[in-house]
């Protein structure tokens, strides 16, 4: 079930963001065809080939910047990968990889790294050497803490850690200066403490955890546009919510909210507010409708 869920949602999303121009950069699916083509090879896909290792000949194709190895039988990252110095997009989704080797730091031009649906229990500190990395997908592994290596990559714009076993997030999250999207849904988070968020954060997904309270710093996130904290154990929202000046959509469904502070009326850009599955009285619902006439509210 877990594999099916992420195959439908997460993997489709990550593939969409890793597309390249098929005319300018045709993707080869056979190493022999690539070598015989007489062309400079930029893109290769071995998706679903039931491979345990890469053909060593791939090391001759030093111009490759896109490599898709998803849906194979890799138990480790093939050493040939690390010889591809131009590699910018690497997809290893749906394999059986248990660890990331030290050599990962050699892929200095890597910008997008997808390793969803594997068997990772930790992240190699050498990942921090990838200072051009913008997108990382670590969904549906077995990680139990937020990877500290990511805190040392300020170029990151998107981090996906959905469906792991994370219960602890390092307090230095705000060091990832360029982060715009963070997905920590379907983990085991119950306390965010005094967590500080990056200033440029626009998308935050924390649904399906056990969170009881949102940290005060979250309400200083003036660039935040989409917030999903549904399916948690939140009992109240701070009046400081008025600081979310640019929030467009907020999902608070399936929590323990009986009311919301009147400061919600100051969220002039809020178009959608989802409150289904909360124990709210009819009179409370009518009051919220009155103070937020421009917001589509779902009860």
Shared domain for 13 and 132, answered yes or no, is yes
Contact 154, 177 (CB under 8 A): yes
Question: Chain centroid to CA 221: how far?
Answer: 18
Do residue 196 and residue 299 come from a single domain? yes
Write down the pLDDT at residue 1: 45
Q: What is the distance in angstroms between the CA of the first residue and the CA of the last residue of the chain? A: 29
Which among 183, 201, 227 is the end of a domain?
Answer: 183
pLDDT in the model for residue 158: 98
pLDDT at 16: 40
Q: Which of 131, 156, 183 is the last residue of a domain?
A: 183
pLDDT for position 4: 41
Same domain, 223 and 165: no
13 and 130 co-located in one domain? yes
Which pLDDT score is estimated for 12?
40
H or E element, residue 183: strand 181-183
Last residue of a domain, which of 167, 183, 199? Answer: 183
The structure's pTM equals 0.92
The structural domain count of the chain equals 2
> What distance in Å separates the CA atoms of residue 42 and residue 33, rounded to the nearest whole number?
13
Say if residue 11 is in the same domain as residue 121.
yes
Instruction: Report the pLDDT value the prediction gives residue 3, as an integer from 0 to 100.
Output: 52
d(CA 287, CA 158): 37
pLDDT along the chain (299 residues), means of 10: 45 48 86 95 97 96 97 97 98 98 98 98 98 98 97 98 94 95 98 94 98 96 98 98 98 98 98 98 96 97
Domain check: are 24 and 59 in the same one?
A: yes
Residue 151's domain spans which residues?
A: 1-183
Question: 227 forms bridges with which residues in the sheet?
Answer: 204, 250
Label each residue of 75-121 as H, E or C: CCCCHHHHHCCCCCEEECCCCCCCCCCHHHHHCCCCCEEECCCCCCC
Residue 297, SS3?
A: strand
- CATH label of the domain that carries residue 237: 3.80.10.10
């Amino acid at each position: 079930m877990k594999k099916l869920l992420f195959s439908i949602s997460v993997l489709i999303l990550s593939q969409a963001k890793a597309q390249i121009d098929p005319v300018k950069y045709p993707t080869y699916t056979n190493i022999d065809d690539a070598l015989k083509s007489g062309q400079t090879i930029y893109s290769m896909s071995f998706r679903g080939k039931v491979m345990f290792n890469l053909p060593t000949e791939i090391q001759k194709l030093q111009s490759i910047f896109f490599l898709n190895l998803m849906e194979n039988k890799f138990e480790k990252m093939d050493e040939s990968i690390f010889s591809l110095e131009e590699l910018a997009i690497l997809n290893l989704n749906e394999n059986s990889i248990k660890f990331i080797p030290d050599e990962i730091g050699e892929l200095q031009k890597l910008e997008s790294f997808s390793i969803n649906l594997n068997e990772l229990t930790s992240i190699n500190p050498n990942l921090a050497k990838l200072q051009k990395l913008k997108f990382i997908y670590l969904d549906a592994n077995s990680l139990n803490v937020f990877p500290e290596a990511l805190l040392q990559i300020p170029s990151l714009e998107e981090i996906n850690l959905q469906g792991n076993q994370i219960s602890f997030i390092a307090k230095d999250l705000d060091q990832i200066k360029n982060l715009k999207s963070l997905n920590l849904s379907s983990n085991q988070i119950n306390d965010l403490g005094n967590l500080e968020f990056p200033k440029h954060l626009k998308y935050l997904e924390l649904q399906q955890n056990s969170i009881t309270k949102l940290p005060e710093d979250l309400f200083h996130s003036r660039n935040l546009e989409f917030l999903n904290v549904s399916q948690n154990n939140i009992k109240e929202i701070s009046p400081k919510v008025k600081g979310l000046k640019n929030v467009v959509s907020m999902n608070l469904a399936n929590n323990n909210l009986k009311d919301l502070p009147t400061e919600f009326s100051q969220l002039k850009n809020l178009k959608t507010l989802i409150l289904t599955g909360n124990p709210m009285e009819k009179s409370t619902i009518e009051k919220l409708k009155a103070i937020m006439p421009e917001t589509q509210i779902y009860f």
